[in-house]
Amino acid sequence: MSDVETRFHRFKDLPSTQLLGTGTPMCAGCGGLQALHEIYDVLGEKTVFVNAAGCMTLLSVYPFTPFRGSWLYTAMASAPAGAQGVRDALDILLEQERMPPEEDLRVVVLTGDGAAYGMGLSATSGAIERGLDFLYIVYDNEGYGNTGQQYSGATPHAARTATSRMGGGFRGDKKDLFDIWVAHRPAYAATVIGAEPLDLARKVERAMAIKGPKLILALAPCPTGWDFDPKLTVDIGRLAVRTGIWPLKEYVDGRVVHSKTPHPRKPVKEYLSLQGRFAHLFEPQRNAAELTRMQAKVDEYWADPAT
């Protein structure tokens, strides 16, 4: 068993109520915090986090942060630009021998889906095209969670949000950020979820060994925004994978491969029915047409997951 497997094996079969970390001023059952705990366990303290405004900004209470390394706050759209400045400064210090190589830091952007899928996408695109050596971590709770769960570019079809409450919920479709990154030909990109810690840890370790722009995109079940009991965070995360709604995959060496293929897949309705944001699809009467459409979209993906 590898070091990563040994470190994370203890998480594998724990129930939801024991898998989540505690002691931070975040919402109970936060799926983003769950993933961040696991990612940080692998990254360690030799990091500088460039934190775009969002839910995880609440982790820092001046003058303290929970990170043992360095932390920098930026506006929502500016984190990749901030990361460029930090990486350039570190490289200059190394080149001028004003800092020994063993004191070098990994530059990590930490952002929610509001910045990653929307406001910060232009800056992110520029950073990837410049070949910036950074790790870009997204906790995707599929809405602007820190300001009341308004819909974002990551909001899935039919989900009710603070700005799409009427009728059948959000009428658009979730943007595919993974494919947007892949179109840029980055050094590495991967999807993860905290409920699958071994898969997550292996991908973060792989990303750490590669130089260049790297994406870790984590689905982040959000009890307050998605309207479910916090004790169900891990169960919902596992269902996201087992229904096929959240494919676990990575882009490496110029191709996309899946790290886990759900077989047999569970029905999508099992994932949707646990979340209040989709309650209107089941009550007061079942919306069979919409549920069939959503299932068909997942089935279509897995019929040819390479496309």
Model confidence at 164, pLDDT cuts 50, 70, 90, reads: confident
The backbone region for 131, taken as left when phi is positive above 0, alpha when psi lies in -120 to 50, beta otherwise, is: left
Nearest CA-CA partner of 104 in 70, 151, 63? 70
Residue 236 main-chain phi, psi, to 5 deg = -65, -40
Model confidence at 3, pLDDT cuts 50, 70, 90, reads: low
Across 193-197, average pLDDT? 97
Query: Residue 1: its pLDDT value, please?
Result: 55
Alpha carbons 276 and 109: distance in angstroms, whole number:
31
Under 8 Å between Cβ of 158 and 281: yes
Alpha carbons 13 and 69: distance in angstroms, whole number:
30
Tokens 């292996």 — which residue? 202
Helix 31-43 to helix 233-242 angle (10° resolution) is 80
Query: Residue 223: its pLDDT value, please?
Result: 97
* Cβ-proximal residues to 287 (8 Å cutoff; 6+ apart), any chain: 168, 280, 281
Alpha carbons 30 and 232: distance in angstroms, whole number:
10
| End-to-end CA, the chain | 34
Q: Give percent of the chain above pLDDT 90.
A: 83
Model confidence at 140, pLDDT cuts 50, 70, 90, reads: very high
Tell me the domains of the chain and their CATH numbers.
3-303 (3.40.50.970)
**Residue 9 pLDDT greater than 90, yes or no:** no
**Residue 23 pLDDT greater than 70, yes or no:** no
Model confidence at 11, pLDDT cuts 50, 70, 90, reads: very low
What are 176's two structure tokens?
């595919």
Q: What confidence tens digit (pLDDT) does each residue in 250-278 have? A: 999 999 999 999 999 999 999 999 999 99
**Residue 151 pLDDT greater than 70, yes or no:** yes
Query: Residue 306: its pLDDT value, please?
Result: 63
Under 8 Å between Cβ of 112 and 146: yes
- Concatenated DSSP letters for the chain? --HHHHHHGGGTT--HHHHS--SSSS-TT-HHHHHHHHHHHHH-SSEEEEEESSGGGGG-BTTB-S-SSEEEEE-TT-HHHHHHHHHHHHHHHHHTTSS-GGG--EEEEEEEHHIIIIITHHHHHHHHHTT--EEEEEEE-SSBGGGT-B--TTPPTT---TT--STTS--S----HHHHHHHT--SEEEEEETTSHHHHHHHHHHHHTS-SEEEEEEE---HHHHT--GGGHHHHHHHHHHTTSS-EEEEETTEEEEEE--SSPPPHHHHHTT-GGGGGGTSSS--HHHHHHHHHHHHHHHHSTT-
Alpha carbons 272 and 116: distance in angstroms, whole number:
24
What are 207's two structure tokens?
């990303």
**Residue 222 pLDDT greater than 80, yes or no:** yes
Under 8 Å between Cβ of 220 and 140: yes
Tokens 């169960």 — which residue? 235
Mean pLDDT over the full length of the chain: 91
Query: Residue 13: its pLDDT value, please?
Result: 46
Alpha carbons 54 and 56: distance in angstroms, whole number:
6
**Residue 81 pLDDT greater than 60, yes or no:** yes
What are 116's two structure tokens?
């990653």
What are 212's two structure tokens?
């260049």
Across 2-9, average pLDDT? 50
**Residue 5 pLDDT greater than 60, yes or no:** no
